Structures are given as structure tokens and as C-alpha cells.
């Protein structure tokens, strides 16, 4: 799967649980694999910051089934 295809899965899951999530990006770390970066916005009615470890867990599950290509 391409990076763009993979990004949509953790983004959708995080937006469903945490409405302040804008998107989840992927960062390739040399020799250490992929990592998720979460962008969010805070509103006056929803001040909950999405956790950063959940998208990494989703990504780890995806990596078991798919190879991420650029």
C-alpha cells in the first residue's frame, strides 16, 4: 500500500474517536520503520487532545498485513 492509502486508515479511526483530529501522517525513521504524526485542533467545546500512541498501534497492525511503499 502507498503511504497515502495507509494514512487514511488511522486518520479515519482517530477522527471517529477524537473529533479534534485533523489527520494522521506517516514519517519514515531511518532504520526504525514508520511512525505516525497526529495533527489536531482544539475547540472551545472539545479540549480533548488525541493520544499519539493509538495511531502507532493501528499502524503496527497494518504493517503486519501490508507493506508500505512510497
- Domain ranges for the chain: 3-65
| pLDDT attached to residue 68 | 84
| pLDDT attached to residue 15 | 93
CA distances 44 to 17, 41, 47, 69, Å, are 18, 10, 7, 39
| pLDDT attached to residue 42 | 82
Tell me the whole-structure pTM to 2 decimals: 0.82
| pLDDT attached to residue 33 | 85
CA nearest 37: which of 50, 18, 20, 46? 50
| Tens-binned pLDDT, residue by residue, of the chain (70 aa) | 898 999 999 999 999 999 889 999 999 888 778 899 999 998 777 777 888 899 999 999 998 998 888 7
Amino acid at each position: 500500500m502507498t503511504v497515502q492509502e495507509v494514512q487514511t486508515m488511522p486518520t479515519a479511526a482517530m477522527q471517529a474517536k477524537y473529533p479534534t483530529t485533523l489527520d494522521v501522517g506517516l514519517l519514515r525513521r531511518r532504520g526504525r520503520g514508520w511512525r505516525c504524526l497526529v495533527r489536531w485542533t482544539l475547540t472551545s467545546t472539545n479540549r480533548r487532545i488525541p493520544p499519539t500512541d493509538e495511531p502507532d498501534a493501528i499502524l503496527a497492525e497494518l504493517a503486519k498485513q501490508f507493506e508500505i511503499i512510497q
